[in-house]
A and B are shown apart, each in its own frame.
Chain A
Amino acid sequence: MDLAKLRQDAAALLADGRAGLVIGFRERAGACVPAFVTDADQADALVYDDTCIANLAAYLRKPEIRQRRPVALVARPHVMRSLILLKAEHQLQGDDVLVLAVGDDTYHGVLTLAEAERLLNETYADLATDAQVLAEIERLEQMSPEERARFWSEQFAKCTRCYACRAACPMCYCERCIVEKNVPQWISTAAAGHGNYAWNVIRAFHLAGRCIECGACEAACPQGIPLMLLNALLAREARDQFDARPGYDAEAEPVVGSWNKDDDEGFIR
């Protein structure tokens, strides 16, 4: 991948004022962490590799970041999908962001959101769910309901309700999350038992048809809860049942919130 070009482009964007901020990755103690570059001469610190899982689109909900619009983001295809989806959900204007597009070990250059949408549909139209995740979903589906309940009981018991999953997810942009609503209290505040179940299940459902499977939430979870199993399950169902392809079309209707006369109703008596 042409990292030099990426750095050069980032520097140029800042130097000529096309971007007020470049968000990418830098190396710290052997790991990649998000980097916030405001001066052209800092652009050389930018790096990129496969360990850069964080979805930088999540930063666009921060007012202090938005203030520096337009913001340029280092974005792999999944992140580009988040951006398209954020636009579809009216959280972004087309000219709020520029994309330093990376993917398949290639640097694609600086793209507008519209160009990123085109690139996605031309080159990355078939981003598949991680095979390991799919295999694990299928393994769980072979289990009895009781075994599955036990599996999730153990997983959700780990949840401390730190909400790192929510923070890391670009699609979790509500200013007051449902879990923080107390009139009425939807979800128990205790980091245990049914509260943890309700929280994780509802978060997954709120992403139904919206999850672009970037994996940032699972990577963010300090406790190692396999959150992508839930998200990928719903992504699979939304795709299989309703042809959902979130993040490929900024004009698309949301999957939950639209309907088709021919939607499956085999489960309805």
Chain B
Amino acid sequence: MARVGVFICHCGENIGRTVDCAAVAKAAEAFPGVVKSVDYKYMCSDPGQQMIKDAIRDERLTGVVVGACSPRMHEPTFRRAAFEAGLNPYLLEMANLREHCSWVHEDRPVATEKAIDLMRVMVEKVKKNAELRPIRVPVEPTALVIGGGIAGIQAALDIAGGGKKVILVERSPSLGGHMARLSETFPTLDCSQCILTPRMVEAANHPNITLMTYSEVTKVDGFIGNFEVTVRQKARYVDPEKCTGCGACFEKCPAKKIPSEFDAALGNRTAIYRPFPQAVPNKPVIDAEHCIMLTKGKCGICAKVCPTGAIKYDDKDREVIVKVGAIVVATGFELWDHSAYGEYGAGRLEDVINGFQFERLASASGPTTGEIRRPSDGRIAESVVFIQCCGSRDPKRGVPYCSKICCMYTAKHAILYRHKVHHGRAVVFYMDVRAGGKGYDEFVRRAIETEGAEYIRGRVSRIYRRKDGRLVVKGADTLAGRPVEIVADMVVLADAIVPQPGASRLAQMLGVSYDEYGFYSEAHPKLRPVETAKAGVFLAGACQAPKDIPESVAQASAAAAKVLGLFSQPELEREPIVAKVNEVTCVHCRACIQACPYGAIEDKEIKDSKGNLIRTVACVNEGECQGCGTCVAVCRSGSIDLDGFTDEEVLAEIAALE
């Protein structure tokens, strides 16, 4: 027989003022199954908790209902007390007599009556409650970091530094990401590569980090603590074991006119190439699409010149499966394609470039060795117009959100330009300047006040090319309220930040949700900004939303901290509010499987002793189930139930209100 203890808290005057706590306790005493019912001034105090513990022991209670404040407040407190007294904590429930009753009603009899109902509901529930035990899942203490940009590198280094293994997967042949392409960084103007490359090398050499460049994730199975990830290592055609990185191959490669991705197509590379001189690993790959040997079957020069015989034309893509306990997604961003803006030349005007292209022009290692020359004819640009919010904050043709970093990098571009072309004119069109951040506003002010950049508030309506090859930029100065027309050698568009192409495909693989643009969704926008709704998958950097470098790094370190926290114990303990399938009555209609937001329900084959398939049923993976119960409500045969909120418990609650 159920032996339920009822404990009514006065919460000082908070409950007692409007609810007659003694009357509630007395009424509850008459509920079937209640063997003890008392009221007390402060149930959450030590003596109050002791009262519950004593009753659990003395009265051999099989359930406890505490009528007090919201369970959000003290449920953990009372459940701990129950546990300490030897009662399974899930046999304790709270009735919310304060937030839901005494604080919102004034009439004492009415509030008392409602309190009695609330108590009855929980008493009826607790009588049906089952003992639940925390779920333990083993954890594979290896992390997978997807993306070798600054966020991925940082996360990998932090996790590795914490003593755990990391597999770092990068799609391109080298670590570094976008940051490696930048000339200087705002607001300090320190050299991007100078601060990044040591970290790249550190990552490559760290004993806890396994680097997988030129590789992509193709499949993700499993769940928190126990993921199985398939990684496709693309054929490099160069044996990394043999290659010394001497460079003889790409110096001799005859296929030379291939636009360099790294230089944003402002420079060229060979078919066998390394993306940039500081690449990590510093070993070339062959671009099979452009390699004469691989496309036409003749050439073979690189193999001839390679002193170590590292060239392997018969190399093949390989798939490896890695087992990891956590995944950090740091896939970064891409720039929006401004060809949608016809009035800006729709991408056809050579001298209308984007921010990355300007970075490469300004970079000492870039195609112009740092001189700001026009792509069309290589002349030094005497006048440059920078246009902010290109695609950003334009719900009609671009994206509605603010890309956040463009104000800053445009100011940086203007400053860099003025440093390099002292007499040059730098004009910035802006909608408004958003420079929240340490030293950021000062930096923009410096561009305007010290470095002589001309800031014009307004939109550019048209850019066209004059006969002399220079560009005419027509717009409006909305502060002055007049049209402006500026002749420029070059226009730099601050294109919107968008997710990497294929971001949604990866999200689907991971089971991570994403917004309508393809940015990955955090589990909670305020309190869980690093986690995703998929347990064990964390976010770092601009794959979640536009971010600058320090933010990306901060989030990467946060993700690493989450991973290390997860790996700090051999097993994962989770609240046992999970769904359970009745395999006897399940008819495998798969409604639950389709409805589960977490992909936590799978097929399970039931076989006889000889291994013959008898039937297939649904099976909940306790590691993945988050306990929402959506599956329960779609199951027509009542074959799936949610621990902690079982059908029987809920029906008992409803019946208590009859």
Residues of A within 8 A of B (CB): 89-91, 173-178, 181, 183-184, 186, 206, 253-254, 256-258
Contact = CB atoms under 8 A, between A and B. Distances in A.
A96 to B, nearest CB: 14
Interface string B625-638: 00000000010111
Interface residues of B, number: 20
Given A89-B589, A91-B589, A186-B651, A176 B594 contact: no
B587 A175 contact: yes
Given A177-B637, A178-B638, A254-B594, A90 B588 contact: yes
B74 interface: no
A174 B591 contact: no
A258 B590 contact: no
A184 B651 contact: yes
B648 interface: yes
B594 A174 contact: no
Interface in B628-658: 634, 636-639, 647-648, 651-652
A91 B585 CA distance: 14
27 contacts: A89-B589, A90-B589, A90-B590, A90-B616, A91-B588, A173-B587, A173-B589, A174-B585, A174-B587, A174-B637, A175-B585, A176-B585, A176-B638, A176-B639, A178-B636, A178-B638, A181-B637, A184-B647, A184-B651, A186-B638, A254-B591, A254-B594, A256-B634, A257-B591, A257-B594, A257-B634, A258-B595
Interface string B469-494: 00000000000000000000000000
B651 A174 contact: no
Interface string B267-299: 000000000000000000000000000000000
A257 B595 contact: yes
Main secondary structure of the interface of A (DSSP, over half): loop
Contacts, number: 52
A258 B636 CA distance: 15
Contacts of B639: 176
Given A174-B587, A175-B585, A178-B636, A258 B594 contact: yes
A259 B592 CA distance: 13
Contacts of B647: 184, 186
Nearest 9 CB-CB pairings of A with B: A174-B637, A184-B648, A257-B595, A176-B585, A257-B634, A206-B636, A89-B589, A184-B651, A257-B591
A256 to B, nearest CB: 6
A178 B585 CA distance: 10
Nearest to B616: A90
A183 B648 CA distance: 7
Residue of B585, B636, B651 with most partner-chain A CB within 10 A: B636
Given A177-B637, A178-B638, 17 more contacts: A89-B589, A173-B587, A174-B587, A176-B637, A178-B637, A181-B638, A184-B651, A186-B638, A186-B651, A206-B636, A253-B594, A254-B591, A254-B594, A256-B634, A257-B591, A257-B594, A258-B594
A167 B167 CA distance: 56
Nearest to A186: B638
A90 to B, nearest CB: 5
A119 B588 CA distance: 28
A173 B616 CA distance: 15
Contacts of A258: 594-595
A257 B589 CA distance: 11
Contacts of A184: 647-648, 651-652
B416 to A, nearest CB: 43
A137 to B, nearest CB: 24
A188 B590 CA distance: 27
Contacts of B616: 90
B198 to A, nearest CB: 45
Contacts of B585: 174-176
Interface string B583-603: 011011111101100000000
A90 B590 CA distance: 7
Contacts of B595: 257-258
A184 B124 CA distance: 13
Contacts of B590: 89-90
Interface string B606-627: 0000000000100000000000
A184 B649 CA distance: 9
Contacts of A257: 591-592, 594-595, 634
A206 B589 CA distance: 12
Contacts of B637: 174-178, 181
